Amino acid sequence: MKKLFEGKVALVTGGGSGIGQATALAYAANGAKVIISDISNNDTVSKIIEAGGEACFFQTDVSIAIECAQLIKQSIDMYGKIDIAFNNAGILGEINPIADMSIEGFEKVISVNLNGIFYCMKFEIEQMLIQRGGVIVNTASILGEVGFGSFSGYVAAKHGVVGLTQNAAIEYSSKGIRINCVAPGFINTPLLNKLDNKTKAELAIKHPIGRLGKPDEVASLVIWLSSDAASYASGGYYPIDGGYLTL
């Protein structure tokens, strides 16, 4: 039986851990050749190869435009195309009320979480226009819709990701490029490592489902949006949050 992404190439930024790694493994399990990007080397490629898949790694800081351009060039040099791009790289950033937040801390999270999405999309779309098609999925957040005290940089960036996704869908859906974003609730990944266990427990009960999410649960949604089963989905904001936004 033909696999879901057989013959396709998928790019995952922030693919070294958490949601990125879970999604990269899922792409590979479904037949895709996977390009892993992150700020440092990791074990995602080896996990894919051990499972019988094909993958490569390119070190990239998505907050630097030229590195994003180089990532796309390296990917095309390696596989000749990019069918799917999952722009997932992100940081939690400085946690402080606005008056106490450092300028550097705010600018850092915007640079990675918002500028990085723009840079990656710009160069991915340039390539997908040449190919006459492709799929892009961006990682936004439930905090792309609502606020959360002391997370102003993260909230601002994720609201921006939603806007970029919607605008890109308006501009390129008619050209065969589908662009959506996923909006995870609080997911149990290394991104939350700076929070203590008490804070994590308090966050868990804010979700009606009663727990934090798992990376592979988000990966399942990304896989659907990346597939032909979602052929009419473009410009969407897809919460996967255990009911958080219903409260």
Task: Single out the residue of 147, 37, 164, 154 nearest to residue 91, CA to CA.
Answer: 154
How far are the Cα atoms of 52, 81, 135 from residue 132, in angstroms, in the given order?
30, 11, 11
CA distances from 39 to 13, 126, 132, 151, 152 (A): 9, 23, 30, 23, 24
Asked if 23 and 46 count as a contact pair (C-beta separation under 8 A), the reply is no
- Is 154 labeled as catalytic in the residue annotation? yes
Which residue among 27, 79, 119, 154 is the active-site one?
154
Question: Under 8 Å CB-to-CB from 143, ≥6 apart: which residues?
Answer: 151, 154, 155, 158, 159
Catalytic residues, which ones? Answer: 154
